[in-house]
Amino acid sequence: MSFSLAHALTGLFWLGALLLLGGLARRASLWQQGHSASVSWLGLLAMPKRYFVDIHHVVAREPAVARAHVAAAGGGVAILLLSALNYGLMLYQGWLDVLLVLMAAVMLLGARMMQARRLQAPPRLSQGRWQVLPARLRLFALGSLLAAGLLFAGPQMGMAGQLIAVAALLMLALGGAELALGIGLGWPMKHAVAGLLHLAFHPRAERFAGKSSDLKPLNLAAGELGVAKVEDFAWNRLLSFDACVQCGKCEAACPAYAAGQPLNPKKLIQDMVAAQSRGTDPAYAGNPHPGREAAVVVKPGEDIVGSVLAAETLWSCTTCRACVENCPMLIEHVDTVVNLRRHVTLSRGEVPGKGSEALANLRNTDTVGGYPLAVRYHWAIDLDLPVLQPGDQTEWLLLAGEGAFDMRYQRALRALVKVLKAAGVKVAVLGAAERDCGDVARRLGDEAGFQRLAKANIATLAQYRFDRIVTPDPHVFHCLANEYPAFGGQFEVWHHSKLLEHLLARRAIPLKADATPLPPLTFHDPCYLGRYNDGFNAPRNVLKGIGIKVVDMQRSGRDARCCGWGGGAAFTDIPGQRRIPDMRMDDIRETGTGRVAVACPNCTAMLEGVVGERADVIELAELVAERLA
């Protein structure tokens, strides 16, 4: 009996392995629809570190789930490895059976925890096959436990033993099918295989070496115009979609989804899966894009946008990276959104709302709002800021950005200049030579417009000598610091929060001596400073440095909710149930401080645009200026 059980297990193991390989081959053929990408096979070696360190950073934010996954997945992987040795290679060692029983017990526990969580599943979790997966994993674990136990116990179990052995084999077959067939048929356990390969061949592999949030240039000369169809994605991008576990953490973090705009980032990724699998995968069983049907009809050969994906979904994204930040599978949603937008913008010219006007303004005036460049520094006319002429030199070059055209934000700019002057910082501006940084153009998919502006600005900046650039606009900061290097622009760029922090730390800013306690306030993290550039501490240190206590919102730091401006969303203005800045104002209200500090011209505008009773919106530099001696 034991002899036959052992051999049955061997057979089952190799059957499963074959099915898995076959399924993988089928899946790989789907990924092969995509174009080639330069990947390093060394990524396979880096996989364990990426799995145990990078993924763990994300998963560990939910400790109970992390523990359950460690138990279930760790137990499962151990069972597979031990089974491979013991049954696959037919070693049939009793001590391996004991280890198997132990690992199966661990997996059983993990699967049990997952099943318990499924009883009160948060709405972000997909249902369908995902809902029954823990039970199948329990079957597999139980089957393993029973089979290994029987083998270790030997043949003396008799009839009961035979019955248990048959049951165990059935359980193993049923449970193991999740993995063996999952990859080929697009079942949940697909994630285990695709996820691991995704780690190895990640389209943004540099994120494992440090922060990486820049958009990648299109090779316009080579005719790249973004993604229209599945085959316009790189193959490893298609692979990345298959890594999705439909946990919905992106959905829970997405400001557009919360506002009832027709974007659910989880669904967006699943739409891409549906597109590449041509609808052969099981039906999606999660929340739809708000206000839309969950079902999609895939018409092979058609453009993704307009068939699988509605344009409104694409344009609802604020590129805030809350989804990316929260994705345990390290999927890069924003890259995909922008890649799809590039096609819609560059090939079709179908930018909705005021987006096309903004792009036309940029083409015609080099400003988003259609202003003459000469008026950008009108607010500074009485501040005696030196305007650099070609060949001039300065320590700090201030780039005011588009906010310089907004009268409200000019107040913040004046405050900043006042503080810098009080601190003895030598700062100059470009005057009419400053063009838009290209952020809006790039996020709206106008890669050509962005590249034109980036190259023009780089050429302009080359005419002056300066030590560093400082800007209060996180979008300018991000573009120059992270996206201009691809075009040969290497500048040391500081967001003003960092400079203010630096000056305060050196006690270079003369502050009022009086110790009147200042009322506390809350701080709204700008996405392009925070999540994009890890600039979480500098603004808080500035506030601390001037004696203001920060009462953080529930969603702050990495989890901060976007103001709704980014990615050109303020221009495309896709309707939803609510406005994102209104929700953010609710977050602010919850702190009870009645005041919010901001560090971005666009957050300033969005939050001040909230109608009705609202908190006071004060720019960081204004708060420092108020404290000047």
Q: Which residues pair with 429 in a beta bridge?
A: 387, 398
Count the site residues for another protein by CB under 8 A: 14
Instruction: Kindly tell me which of 372 and 390 has the beta carbon lying closer to another protein.
Output: 372
* Residue 433: partners with Cβ closer than 8 Å, 6 or more residues away: 373, 388, 460
Question: Closest Cα to residue 584, out of 610, 548, 552?
Answer: 610
Tokens linked to 311: 């344009």
CA gap 340, 145 in Å, rounded: 48
Choice from 118, 207, 411, 421 touching another protein (CB under 8 A): 411
| 375 part of the interface to another protein, by CB under 8 A | yes
CA gap 271, 294 in Å, rounded: 10
Choice from 26, 408, 421, 455 touching another protein (CB under 8 A): 408
Tokens linked to 305: 């946008």
* Residue 531: partners with Cβ closer than 8 Å, 6 or more residues away: 213, 320, 321, 322, 324, 325, 525, 558, 560
Binding range to another protein, per CB under 8 A, among 53-61, 153-161, 237-245, 367-375: 367-375
| 406 part of the interface to another protein, by CB under 8 A | yes
First vs last Cα of the chain: how many Å apart?
90
Binding range to another protein, per CB under 8 A, among 60-68, 136-144, 381-389, 594-602: 381-389
| 379 part of the interface to another protein, by CB under 8 A | yes
Instruction: Kindly tell me which of 204 and 408 has the beta carbon lying closer to another protein.
Output: 408
Binding range to another protein, per CB under 8 A, among 99-107, 310-318, 377-385, 439-447: 377-385
In degrees, rounded to 5, the angle at the alpha carbon of residue 412 between the alpha carbons of residues 407 and 417 is 115
Tokens linked to 415: 């405050």
| 382 part of the interface to another protein, by CB under 8 A | yes
Binding range to another protein, per CB under 8 A, among 46-54, 68-76, 400-408, 486-494: 400-408
Choice from 410, 451, 602, 604 touching another protein (CB under 8 A): 410
CA gap 379, 3 in Å, rounded: 88
Tokens linked to 595: 């005041």
| 378 part of the interface to another protein, by CB under 8 A | yes
Instruction: Kindly tell me which of 534 and 608 has the beta carbon lying closer to another protein.
Output: 608
- Footprint on residues 432-471 left by another protein (CB under 8 A): none
Binding range to another protein, per CB under 8 A, among 2-10, 164-172, 374-382, 560-568: 374-382
Binding range to another protein, per CB under 8 A, among 405-413, 501-509, 538-546, 612-620: 405-413
Choice from 241, 405, 466, 494 touching another protein (CB under 8 A): 405
| 381 part of the interface to another protein, by CB under 8 A | yes
CA gap 60, 449 in Å, rounded: 40
Choice from 51, 152, 371, 396 touching another protein (CB under 8 A): 371
* Residue 426: partners with Cβ closer than 8 Å, 6 or more residues away: 394, 395, 396
| 477 part of the interface to another protein, by CB under 8 A | no
Instruction: Map residue 64 onto helix, strand or coil.
Output: helix
Tokens linked to 218: 């299109």
Instruction: Kindly tell me which of 405 and 477 has the beta carbon lying closer to another protein.
Output: 405
| 369 part of the interface to another protein, by CB under 8 A | yes
CA gap 436, 450 in Å, rounded: 9
Binding interface with another protein (CB under 8 A): 369, 371, 375, 378-379, 381-383, 405-408, 410-411
